[in-house]
Each structure stands twice: as structure tokens, then as C-alpha cells.
Structure 1
Amino acid sequence: MENLLRLLIIERDLNDAEMMISTIKSAGFAVRPERAEDQDDLLEKLQKHAPDVVLCTLDSEPELGLEQVMSGIRDMGRHVPVIAIANDANQDVVDCLALGAHDMVRKDRPDHLKLVVTRAAEAQRHWRQLKTQESSLREAERRCKNLLDSSRDAIAYVHDGMHIYANQSYLELFAYTDPDDLEGMPIMDMVAKEDQGTLKEFLRNYDHAPEGNESGQSVQIKLKNSAGESFTAQMEFTPASIDGEPCTQILIRSQANTKELEQQINYLAQRDLVTGLYNRQYFMERLESALGQATQGKGNAALVELQIDKFQEIRDQVGVAGSDLVLGDVGKILEKHCGQNDVVARFDGEAFAILTSHWETADAEAFLKAMLKDIAALICEVDSRSITCTASAGVTQIDENAPSANELLSRAAKACEEARKAGGNQAVSYKPKEGEMTQRQLDESWIARITEAIGKHRVRLLYQPVVSLHGESGERYEVLMRLLGEDGQEIPASEFMPSAERTDMAKVLDRWVISHALDQLVEQRKKGKETTFFIKLTAGSLQEPGMLPWIVEQLKERRIPAECVVFEMKETTVVNHLKPAKEFVRGLKGLHCRFALDDFGTGLNPFQLLQHVPADYLKIDSSFMDRLSSSEENQESIRQLTDGAHGQNKLVIAQHVEDATGLSILWGIGVNYIQGNFLQAPSEKLEYDFTSMS
């Protein structure tokens, strides 16, 4: 019934309550009223179902005041407009709005009450429709992607004859392993030479098909895979679109029964291989689904982030392989405590994520307390060593008022960090602190602060030497950027860079650093010094089409040889933005600039990345330098990375060198360059004596 109105009234006088109900009925609503007498009664009624509108009378000595009502609605995870009913003209509407009320109406103005209730009910209806549509859109997009990815039929999308998407079956049919290897490849390259004319003729007729003809057309043709092997297939072409842009769908129907293989692929696509738990990608899909349910009032949930305390110490004791066994044992405890409908995932490193129905505060705390107790009692046997550990957890509610999935993850992470800083082995429920900003507000704040810092010259460059272990000539420095607060103190990059990288500020900072670094490089060359700068770039620069032409102009303007500049990106940035990174590095090589991969070596097969992004320098991840003199595992890892790099004519840089012992080990392994505070901390001056290492 469209005009049905579930009404919850907080009013001591039954006659006044009946008068309000009668007034609202006269506005054309079929009213289903309930009355709450105290806080417990309010919470009980809110838990049963979500009202459409709440009326709360402002009594001088209330058993249930407006502030308590608003607090109760928040605690129960409901989204509902509250209309304050004033007994006299002295009560201030601003005070009511400040507490979160939708509006305030005087009790002696029933005509006003009808209008405000009608508006509030309409707003609530639109809010619920919006949440339903958002959820439906997310679910439709997820289902479409899953259908394409899991289809046994080979499916690809092409635009202007180039591949822009291919599902797993299509990749396997043509013997490719990486979607990026196929992306941008002309469809004609997949056709045997003798049949290319046939396909061209077919496509010419297909392009000139009558407008509005949306049916598929097919052609039987001989194709070839990446190994050059030929096979015949029926290709079906159908008009389609991706992100609103027109394209063509290619379908090659499967001829084999691959049900068992499909099940294996689906399992691997959803699972973390170390723990057997769900992986991050699948968890995010389930989180979006739970968010959609909750925002429509169809059931609340809770999001938990759980991290093993002091995990680095465990890894130092038993190595990477041994620490993986600890992760697996902890994962089994999480699964044991979670219900059938809960979702447990290994999220990242030593962090786990849980989506659970234990959403009420007391229930969630009891649920996590029992889980953390079992983790603390766990004894892991690793290579005849008994390893114990504890964990910290943060939990946040997913209810009708829940923000985006990313903001929920941010809240759970904040609560988990709070538990960890308090000593670990405990759980903390997220409670927004007074004045705490959402991620969006935080980003907007940092945009303003960074812009102001640039305008007021509170951004500066530091330089740290990169020194050859084998007596090569020339000077090399890594360029580091520092942001200063109004008090002149350095702001850690971990505070502002996440916001900068989520917005356009990262590429603004990149341009500032490049411009000022090149000015300094000009000064060095005037002094007759052969100086090379390593300059960091963020993902924002990869996604800006104008960055490469701008770099060209900056080099030309200053008449600096491009070989003097090495642009540097983190391995994770390149992996997460592989296609634009490939194009960007190709452009850099065209300018004769060189490229370095930072934090290299932590992936399962790091050298596979070099097939796509031909780096000149590999900067070994700093985690391999931890306790280098006593860790044979780290020494062996660096040796393998160095040998592999030299086998591909790449130069290796070891970062974070902190003592002379590590220096001699790295020299013996064959590392080309070193960098770290043992040589010199970052400085505003370029005065390092490079002859001291000769």
C-alpha cells in the first residue's frame, strides 16, 4: 500500500497522541501507529521494524527526550526522520535540528504537522528507493561481470578492431595468461593469414548493416593462438557497450564439457591460497551485497578487521613460509567461530576481514572476545618451534545509515589500530570521535592543506645519495619531497599521501617535485657534475594523458639530457595500474629517460612484471634489509633477486642500508648500488663525497 505510514509516537498524553494520528490520517495516509513509553520500549520497537516517521513531543520533564530518541535510532542502525512536537512557542527549532530532527512543529498547528509529515514520509520513501536502486545496480554489475568471467564460452569486447576486454575462457582459447597481454591487440592478429581477407569482408558488411539491427552475425574462420597453432571456430559478433561507449562483443561458443575445470577456476578466483579463506576480491563483493541489504532495512551486519599482533617478530623467528603456517592456523580459528552465513577472508598480509551477523555491540564484543581468547591459546608448531600469538580486532556496524564500503573498511581499520595501540589482544568497536571526518571530508581537507602548503612554500626537496658499490663514476641522488605544517614541522607522508592519491593532488605534487628537481639538476650541471636524479611518481601521473608531453617540455626548456633522470614507481603501483604503466614506461624510453621499480621483490613471481614493464633499475624492498647480517633467508632472497636481475641486464639498488655489516654482505652478493642513512640521511644539500666509496 503506497500511502501506508508506519508511525512511532513519543507522547505521554494519549488524547494528544490520538489527535496527531487523526491529523495525519486526514492527509490521506493509512496510519499504522505505535507508541513508545520509555527507552527500552523504543529500542524494542525499533528492533522489530523500521518506522517511516517518528513524532517526539518536547516535554519539560520527559521520560524519553529528543536526544535519547535520536541516540536510540542511531544505536539500532535505523534511518528515519524525527519530527519534534513543541508544546509552546519558546522552544527553538534550531536546537531540534542540531540534535538531528527532520523538523519541529508546534502542537497547536495541525495544518503544519500534515505538511511536514507528508514531506518527511516522501523523503524517507525516496531514500529507500535510492538505496534499493544502488543495491540493484551493484548487484547487476557484479552478476554481469561474474557471468562473463565464469562463462565457458570465450567472450571478448573490441573497439575499433582492438581488444578492450577478454574473459578467462577467451584467454585460455588463445593461450594467453594475462589479460593485459591481449588488451589493445588487433582482432586481425588472432586470425590465420589465409582467412584475414574473409574476416575483413565480413566486418565490412557488418559495419554497414542497417541501423537498429542489434542481432548477432557470425562467421566461421580459422584462428591462431599465441603459440601460432591454428584452429577453426565460429565467431559471433553482436553490438554492445562498455561504460557507455559502443563496442562489439565477440562470442566463441565452448565445444567441451569443462564443468570440473570451471569449478576449480571459480574456487581459485575466490580463495586465498595460503589460508584457504576467501580472498579480498570476493570479500568486497559480499561486503557490497551486505551494505545493499542493510541500507534497505533488510538486515544489519558488522564488519571486523582482525590483525595478528607483532607479526613481523613471528616472521623474523620462523621465516616467510613458517609465518604462512601461523596465518593458516589463525584462519581455522576464525572459521570455527563464524556462522554459516558469515564471510571470513584473508584481506592483506596479516590482516583478516569478517562479515558477520553479530552486529549489536554487546553481541559483537562477546563474539570477538571468544575468538581472541582462542587465538591467544593457540600453539603453532613450526619446524620444532612452538609459536604463540595474539590478535587485535576492530568492528563497525553496517546498518541503514552505513556509508560506502571503503568508508566502512576505514572505520574498521581505525578501530583495529586503536586496539593494537592499546596493547593488543582486544577488540574495539568503532565510535566516531567528535569532529572526526569521513574519508571524503578528510580528502577535501588535505587538498586544501596541500594547496596552501604549495602556495606558501612549505614544500621542500631533500636528496639522499645512491652510491655505486663498484666504483662507477657520476653522482646519483634520490629526490624526496617533504610537506611542512604551519608550525614548520614535517608531516609524515603516511598522513597526507593516501588522500593525495585518492584525489588529483598526487599528480599536482608530482609535477611540483619534477619541476623543482629539474631546476636543481640544471644547477648541478652548471657546476660540471654528472648528476642523475631518481624522481618518484604516483599512480595519478600514470592516469594523466598530459604528463609525458609535459615532461618533454620541462626537459627541453632546461636543455637537460633525459638520461640524467630516472623516474621511479612502486611495484604495487605498477601492478595495480599495469596497462597505463606499460604505456607510460614505453613513452619514457622513447624520451631516453630511465625507469626504476621501487619496493621490488615481494610478489610471487616479481620478474614476470619485467616482461611488461622493462625497468632499468630494481630497488629491493626494504623488508629484505631487516636484520640482514643475521638473516640467512633475507640474504638468500637478495642473492636470488640480484642474480635474476643481472640475468636480464638490470641494475640492483639496496635501500635502507643502516650499518657497515650489511654493506659488506651486499657487496659480496653483487648488488650494484646502495642507499640509506648509513651513508647519509636525506639532506637539502647535494654535498655527498662519492669518491669515499672508491
Structure 2
Amino acid sequence: MKYLSAKTSPDLGTTANNSLGSLLFNLLKNNNQTKRSPQIIIWGYIVIVVLFSLILVTSIVQNKRTNDHVSEIVQQYGMKSELITRMYNAARERSISLFTMVSIKDPFVRDENFLTFNSHAAQFANARIKLLKTKLSDSEYVLLKKQGNLTHITAPLQNKIAELVQREEIEEANELLVAKAIPLQEKILDLLKQLQTIQYQAARKIAQQAQQEQQDSWKILLVLSIVVLFSGIVITYIIVFITKSLQSKLYMEKELAEITLHSIGDAIITTDINGKVTQINPVAEELTGYSRRQAIGQDFYSVFNVELVYDAAPSTLTELETVITNLDVVMSAESPKTLVNKNLSEYAIEYTLAPIVTEDRKTSGAVVIFRDVTEIRALSSQLKYYASHDSLTGLINRRQFEYHLGNTLKSTQASSAQQHVVCFMDLDNFKIINDTAGHEAGDEFLKQLSLLLQSLLRRSDILARLGGDEFGILLEDCNIENALSIAEKIRKEIKSFRFIWANNSFEVGASIGLTKIDHTTASLTEIMRNADTACYISKEEGRNRIHLFDPNDEEIQKRQGELQWMQHIKDALKNNDFVLHCQSIMNIADSEKKHCEILLRLRNRDGEIVPPMSFIPAAERYEIMPDIDKWVITNTIKFLSTNQKKIKDHIFTINLSGQSLGKKGFDEFVINTLVNNKIDPKIICFEITETAAISNLSRAVAFMKTLKAIGCRFALDDFGSGLSSFSYLKNMPVDYIKIDGHFIVDICEDKTDLAFVEAINRIGHIMGIETIAEFVENKDTFDALKNIGVNFAQGYYIDKPKSLSLYELGDSDKK
């Protein structure tokens, strides 16, 4: 439970405003009464009105002039008082924000206070400009001029303190704040208080003058009323008339409040000071199960049946009691609570509880505003499941499998007695099923095979589909001998399994690679590489067999010897053998807007173009990606620099690896490259995979903020493949999210994929983030995405990758 406290105290400006408001109300009321009185007298007593018409008209004119004069002055001083109060509050809140920035260590909260600090400066300046345009007395002008001189000294000093805080020089900032800024700010606030005092005194003087003038006017009318017979009846009639008018006005205000309460989308319940329900709107009736007649008068927690939450000390106050006894405390749940209604139905709700405060600063009860988040909560859980599980087989996916491996590795490194085994399994001849019977048959086979594999494993074992026809198995607390026995059993069962589809029988095999995990295992990367290498060798040796990883094995050494990509990559960087390609990204709503992704290829020694997945894994394994990313950025910017006049309306997306995000000084390299080539950062968008961003979230966010500050954009690639996509998305300042292509390919046939894409698109738009769908291979997929409202599409249906030199830039000068 969190407390949102907003304690305030009335100042001179507030008091003056209240006094002026009351005075204005009374004047208008008296004026209305005065205007009505002559009319009633004329219609009731024509003879008397004729006799005293000259005196009466003179009195009314004088009264009207007085009222108009007072109203004009009241309006003038009311406006000045309001502007001075704005300046006072803005100056005070700016000082509070500055003090908070110095005091708080959390950089995110500090950034929020920095924004608040700047916004109050603008409010202060705007109010002062408006105040200078009003009629000012000599004393007001002198005080305002003194304030202006002090502000010219204080503002740069406060800005300097804010800059020191941003640079983490807290001690120096604190010294300046205490030694100079606070004393100067107190002088400014004192001058503003003097201005408020002038307004207050002027308002009181005006009120006294108006009161005296009113008394004089009423004396004249009183003399006339004595002469006029039955004046008491007339006055009584006026009082009754005014009373009825006020009753009618109050009734209309009550009706308006009732209409507002019943039409609002959130559920609302109000209570009196004793915690009894006094009002409930239709939304709250539906959620609680209580009708308005049943709820009113009931104890609050018997209607609003949620888990009681107490404040700091046990056996003290409930939330309701807390807000009723504390005028300035607002309470809300940090996480959804469960509401059990009258019919025992349960809803997940978010709510806020606040006191109802009267004009004299007394609590008259409390109000709770709540909303049903059951559907959103269920959708979040469903998305989390889809992010960690394979949608076809229901098994966990690669990401979740690696998560379990990581935990197992940590526990094993802490205990030398533990031993586990990882199996990588690649199906043999699975492609035959897809090619001869179609993908539908292949999908059904994988489902049946998943059930078969689960039946062969122990309860403690973890089975995952890593992708395509690849499976991973974690055999916990298992030695090599038992693991080989289990693997052999799996191999035989798969080999003997017959898959029947359309009267055709299919047989597949399995190539299985095993590697052990013990206290000597260094990293998750080592486990995955060793298991993958063992699986590869089992395939190379003839398939349908098992291979145990042994670092001294000749085949293993041969396999590792084939990983010479590292040297090839270094040679390519040295000899400039990399090639830039690009692929257009279509703006679905406006196809004229140009947007493309920069792609990387490698020209091998035979002059053939090699796709990135052939060398990127090796580059990542040997941490060469930052050098490759620098090459891509340098050559892309060089290309754009030679086409300056043609790129103004384009956006170019450049992929960045997780290694580059974490490399010190990489952001400076990017900025210097852009500046040196005079490239507008707004046309550059950096694309980061979700996995890379999440693996080092704090560095990724810091990198993004640094480059976004100069205008660069960011796209989050493969969104939806991670375990907690949405929870991390809130913390990353991205402009686009690229929906994982695995959800796009079968969007027209798979309702789950469609629902997932719709959810990502909807939540992205709510957060102000545009969406990009990749793997758009046909018109049906494109039309489906257009109907959903996805912003951009990328894939072979839109454009095939081609050399960057062939990209059609157009000419912005032709506009």
C-alpha cells in the first residue's frame, strides 16, 4: 500500500481569493435583490412608484454604479491576487523540486523532479508576464521590480544546481542550494507575500467601502419603504422569491452531480465520517452486487469486500479510517486486489481511497474510486505464458529453457556434488513430413511427439522446444550413465514411432547430443555450445544416434576447428569485405513515407555473398559484434553523408547488438560519427533485440536516453519472444516495437498468433509506441495487419533485401 500525501496550508493569497469570492457573491446577490425590488413595487403599488419614481431611480442608478465600480475593482484585484499566488506556488514548488533532486539518489525519480523543476519555472514566468500587464500601484511595481532583480540572480543559480545534480555532483549542488539558493528564494517568497498582503488589504478596503456604500443605499430605500405601505409584504415576497431561487439552483446542482456520478466509467462509493455508505454509482452496483437501496447505510467494508489493509503498525487503522482521520492522505493499492461481491463473484480491481474535505477543512467522509482490471490481468498472464512457451506444443521455449539452465548452473557451481545433463535433440527426416504432407501434418507430428517425449521423462526433467524440429532436455540430478540410458530410450521410441497422416505412415529419427553440467562448467554459453556441437556431430556421423560431448574427442575438435569464422570476420573488417543491403519498411497508412532497415552481408573469399546468420553467432560468441556494429554505423553514415539532399524525409534503421549496448564509450562513438558527418540524428533509428535489451536493462536504457536526447529513435526487435516483454517495455524509451515474425507468419490461420499480435499492437499504441510487423510474406497477412491497425509492415511482400546502393532515395528538393 502506498500513501500519496499532498499536505497544504492556506496562505494570504488563498485567503484573499476566498474573501474576494465571498464579497463578489454577496454583491451580486444584493444587486439581484435590488433589481428585483423596483419591479415588484411598480407592479404592486403603481401610485406609490409614480410619487417616488425620481428618488427611487436615482437610488437604483447610484447603487448600480457602486456595484459596477466595486465589481471592476474586485475583478482587477482578484486577477492580480491569483497571478501572485501562482508565482508564489510555482517558486515554492520549484525550490521543493530542486531540494528533492539534491536529496534523492534514484536517477529516475530525479529526472522526474527535473522535469517538474523546469515546468514550474515556465509557470512562474507566465504568471509574472500577465501580472505586469495589469494595473499596478507604485508599491506593487517596486516590489515586483525587486522580485525580478532577485529572480535574475536566483534562476541561473538554481539551473546551475540542477546541472550539478544531473552530473552527480551532489555535494557541490547541496552547498550552493543551502548557502545561496535557499536564502535568495526566501527573499523572493517574502516579496511575493508582501504583494499578497497588499492585495488582501486592498480587498478588505474595497469590501468596507462597498459595505458602507451599500448601507447608504439601503438607508434611502428604507426611508422609501416606510413611506410605501405594505413594504413588509414586498420584502417578505422578495425573501421567499430568493429562497425559492436558491432551492432551485441547489436542486439543479444536485441533479448535475447525480448525472455525473452515474455516467462516469469508474465505480464510485462514498461514505460518511462513520464509514457508512452514502452513495454508490451504477458501475459500483454492478461490481459489488449491491443495489443503491441495499448499499446505502451499510458498513463500507461489507459492500467494498476486499482484503483489509492496515497502515504501518498492526492493530491500528484500516485504509478507510486512515483517510478519514488524515485530511491530506490519499491511499491506493500498489497491485490489484480481489473484490468479492455479494454473489461471491471475484474481480481484480485497482482503487484509490481519499477523504472528502469540507470548505472549513474538516473530513465529512471518504470516497473510493475503483475499476475492474480482471480482463487486463488475465490478458497479462496469458501473454506471459505465450512469451515463455511454444504456442504449438505447449512446451517451454528456448528463452525459458535457458532461464532454467541458468538457475541450474548457479546451484551446481555452489555445490560440487551436483551433476546434471543437457540433451539437444534434432529430428532426422522431419523435413520429409513437411514437404510431402504439408506444414499442418508437420505441426501435428510435433504435438504428438511432444506428448511422447513427456511420457518418457521423469517429473523433475525439463523438456523444451528450441525451435523448428529441435528440442532441449534438462536432466536434473542425473549422472552420465543414466542420461545415456534415458537418451537411448528416447532415440528408440522416436525411431519406432509411426506417424499416420492421410493414410501415409512416416518415420523419423533423432540425433541427440549430450553434455554434462557440474561445478567446472563455466557458463550458459558453454553448455549450449557443447550440447549443440555434440548434436551436430551425431548428425554428421550418420544420424539417429547419440553423441556425448568430450573436449578431447577428435570430432569435437574438428567441429570447433570449423568455427574459424572469427578469423574470417576479422579479415572482413580489415579488408572491408562486408556489404550493406537494405529492405524497405512500408508505412501502412502512408506508403509514401520512406523507411528502410540496413542489413549486413559478408563477401567470402570466393566472392559469394554470405547471409548474416552464418557469421553473426560466431561474432557474438567471440565478442566481435561491437567492431561489426561500428563498421555498419560508419559506412551507413558515410553513404547518407554523400546523399544529404535526398535523405531528409527518410528513416534508416541500424541493428545494434547487446554487446555494443554494454560497451563503454559506444554512445560517444555514435554521436561523434553523426556530428562529424553532419547527419540529422532524427533520421536514424537503432534497432535492438528484446533479448539484448533485457539482458542488461539499465545499460540499454541509459544508452537509449543518451542518443534519444540528440534526436535518435529506437526500435525493439523480436518483441514478444522474451519472458516478460510488457513489464520491461514500460522502462524502455522506444519509438517502435517490431513484433516477432513467428507471430506474423501464421496470423491468418492461427487465432493465438492473431490475438497475440492484436494485444501487442493495442498495448503499444496505448503507450504511444508505433508497431512494425516483420515476415509479411503475402497480401492476406498484410491485409490482416492493416485491419488490426499495425503501423508498419516489412517482408518479402513489401520489398526484398537489396544492395544499399540500389535503394531509391528520391529527391526531397522536388517537393
TM-score by length of 2: 0.44
2:451 maps to 1:329: yes
2:642 maps to 1:523: yes
Q: CA deviation at 1:643?
A: 2.5
- Per-residue CA deviations over 1:379-427 (Å, capped at 9, x if unaligned) read 999xxxxx99967352346599987454354232223245568897653
2:602 maps to 1:483: yes
Equivalent of residue 538 in structure 1, options 640, 657, 660: 657
Equivalent in the alignment of 1:351: 471
2:802 maps to 1:682: yes
Equivalent in the alignment of 2:759: 640
Q: Distance in 1 between matches of 2:464 and 2:445?
A: 14
Equivalent in the alignment of 1:612: 731
Q: CA deviation at 1:541?
A: 1.3
Kindly report which structure 2 residues correspond to 1:442-461, keeping only aligned pairs within 5 A, or say none.
445-461=564-580
Equivalent of residue 394 in structure 1, options 494, 501, 512: 512
User: Which amino acid counterpart does residue 516 of structure 1 have in structure 2?
Assistant: N
- Report the secondary structure of 1:676's partner residue: coil
Q: Distance in 1 between matches of 2:536 and 2:649?
A: 46
Kindly report which structure 2 residues correspond to 1:544-563, keeping only aligned pairs within 5 A, or say none.
544-563=663-682
Q: Distance in 1 between matches of 2:498 and 2:312?
A: 56
User: Which amino acid counterpart does residue 455 of structure 2 have in structure 1?
Assistant: I
Kindly report which structure 2 residues correspond to 1:420-439, keeping only aligned pairs within 5 A, or say none.
426-430=545-549, 432-433=553-554, 436=557
The answer to whether the Cα contact below 8 Å between 1:300 and 1:397 also exists between their aligned partners in 2 is no
Q: CA deviation at 1:301?
A: 7.2
Equivalent in the alignment of 1:498: 617
- Per-residue CA deviations over 1:20-39 (Å, capped at 9, x if unaligned) read xxxxxxxxxxxxxxxxxxxx
The answer to whether the Cα contact below 8 Å between 2:426 and 2:512 also exists between their aligned partners in 1 is no
The answer to whether the Cα contact below 8 Å between 2:634 and 2:673 also exists between their aligned partners in 1 is yes
Q: Distance in 2 between matches of 1:389 and 1:333?
A: 19
Distance 1:352 1:401, change over 3 A: closer
- Report the secondary structure of 2:654's partner residue: strand
Structure with higher strand content: 1
Equivalent in the alignment of 1:624: 743
The answer to whether the Cα contact below 8 Å between 1:464 and 1:477 also exists between their aligned partners in 2 is yes
Q: Distance in 2 between matches of 1:663 and 1:480?
A: 22
Q: Distance in 2 between matches of 1:421 and 1:677?
A: 33
Equivalent in the alignment of 1:411: 530
Q: Distance in 1 between matches of 2:762 and 2:506?
A: 36
The answer to whether the Cα contact below 8 Å between 2:690 and 2:718 also exists between their aligned partners in 1 is yes
2:740 maps to 1:659: no
User: Which amino acid counterpart does residue 800 of structure 2 have in structure 1?
Assistant: Q
The answer to whether the Cα contact below 8 Å between 1:163 and 1:183 also exists between their aligned partners in 2 is yes
- Per-residue CA deviations over 1:578-628 (Å, capped at 9, x if unaligned) read 121111112122121110011112345533322011211111211123244
Kindly report which structure 2 residues correspond to 1:305-324, keeping only aligned pairs within 5 A, or say none.
305-306=424-425, 317=440
2:684 maps to 1:565: yes
The answer to whether the Cα contact below 8 Å between 2:641 and 2:679 also exists between their aligned partners in 1 is yes
The answer to whether the Cα contact below 8 Å between 1:442 and 1:499 also exists between their aligned partners in 2 is no
User: Which amino acid counterpart does residue 477 of structure 1 have in structure 2?
Assistant: C
The answer to whether the Cα contact below 8 Å between 1:658 and 1:677 also exists between their aligned partners in 2 is yes
Aligned CA-pair RMSD = 5.0
Equivalent in the alignment of 2:312: 231
User: Which amino acid counterpart does residue 500 of structure 1 have in structure 2?
Assistant: A
Q: Distance in 1 between matches of 2:512 and 2:462?
A: 14
Equivalent in the alignment of 1:75: none
User: Which amino acid counterpart does residue 569 of structure 1 have in structure 2?
Assistant: I
The answer to whether the Cα contact below 8 Å between 1:163 and 1:185 also exists between their aligned partners in 2 is no
User: Which amino acid counterpart does residue 332 of structure 1 have in structure 2?
Assistant: Q
- Per-residue CA deviations over 1:294-346 (Å, capped at 9, x if unaligned) read xx9x89875422356759979964999x999768735632434xxx9x85454
Q: Distance in 2 between matches of 1:325 and 1:568?
A: 34
The answer to whether the Cα contact below 8 Å between 2:596 and 2:651 also exists between their aligned partners in 1 is yes
Equivalent in the alignment of 2:710: 591
Q: Distance in 1 between matches of 2:418 and 2:771?
A: 54
Q: Distance in 2 between matches of 1:326 and 1:185?
A: 53
The answer to whether the Cα contact below 8 Å between 2:412 and 2:519 also exists between their aligned partners in 1 is no
Distance 1:330 1:404, change over 3 A: farther
Q: Distance in 2 between matches of 1:571 and 1:538?
A: 10
The answer to whether the Cα contact below 8 Å between 2:581 and 2:801 also exists between their aligned partners in 1 is no
The answer to whether the Cα contact below 8 Å between 1:377 and 1:388 also exists between their aligned partners in 2 is no
Higher Cα Rg: structure 1 or 2? 2
Kindly report which structure 2 residues correspond to 1:501-512, keeping only aligned pairs within 5 A, or say none.
501-512=620-631
Q: CA deviation at 1:687?
A: 3.4
Distance 1:623 1:437, change over 3 A: same
Q: Provide structure 1 residue ranges, at least 5 long, that are not aligned to the other structure.
A: 1-159, 165-180, 187-203, 205-227, 234-267, 382-386
Distance 1:285 1:564, change over 3 A: closer
Distance 1:307 1:578, change over 3 A: farther
Q: CA deviation at 1:631?
A: 3.7
Q: Distance in 1 between matches of 2:752 and 2:499?
A: 21
- Per-residue CA deviations over 1:114-138 (Å, capped at 9, x if unaligned) read xxxxxxxxxxxxxxxxxxxxxxxxx
Distance 1:292 1:437, change over 3 A: farther
Distance 1:368 1:459, change over 3 A: same
User: Which amino acid counterpart does residue 680 of structure 1 have in structure 2?
Assistant: K
Q: Distance in 1 between matches of 2:310 and 2:507?
A: 53
- Report the secondary structure of 2:795's partner residue: coil
The answer to whether the Cα contact below 8 Å between 1:283 and 1:343 also exists between their aligned partners in 2 is no
The answer to whether the Cα contact below 8 Å between 1:372 and 1:390 also exists between their aligned partners in 2 is no
- Report the secondary structure of 1:613's partner residue: coil
The answer to whether the Cα contact below 8 Å between 1:368 and 1:393 also exists between their aligned partners in 2 is no
Distance 1:620 1:302, change over 3 A: closer
Distance 1:532 1:624, change over 3 A: same
Distance 1:442 1:569, change over 3 A: farther
User: Which amino acid counterpart does residue 572 of structure 1 have in structure 2?
Assistant: T
Distance 1:291 1:379, change over 3 A: farther
- Report the secondary structure of 1:460's partner residue: strand
Q: Distance in 2 between matches of 1:619 and 1:480?
A: 15
Q: Distance in 2 between matches of 1:401 and 1:648?
A: 45
Q: CA deviation at 1:652?
A: 1.6
TM-score by length of 1: 0.51
Q: Distance in 2 between matches of 1:289 and 1:407?
A: 16
Q: Distance in 2 between matches of 1:514 and 1:434?
A: 39
The answer to whether the Cα contact below 8 Å between 1:376 and 1:389 also exists between their aligned partners in 2 is yes
The answer to whether the Cα contact below 8 Å between 2:653 and 2:685 also exists between their aligned partners in 1 is yes
Q: Distance in 2 between matches of 1:542 and 1:462?
A: 23
Q: Distance in 1 between matches of 2:419 and 2:772?
A: 50
The answer to whether the Cα contact below 8 Å between 2:494 and 2:510 also exists between their aligned partners in 1 is no
The answer to whether the Cα contact below 8 Å between 1:465 and 1:688 also exists between their aligned partners in 2 is no
Q: CA deviation at 1:510?
A: 0.8
Distance 1:690 1:430, change over 3 A: farther
Q: CA deviation at 1:467?
A: 1.7
Kindly report which structure 2 residues correspond to 1:108-147, keeping only aligned pairs within 5 A, or say none.
none
2:721 maps to 1:602: yes
The answer to whether the Cα contact below 8 Å between 1:446 and 1:500 also exists between their aligned partners in 2 is yes
* Residues 648-657 or 538-547, more deviating: 648-657
Q: CA deviation at 1:183?
A: 14
Distance 1:287 1:612, change over 3 A: closer
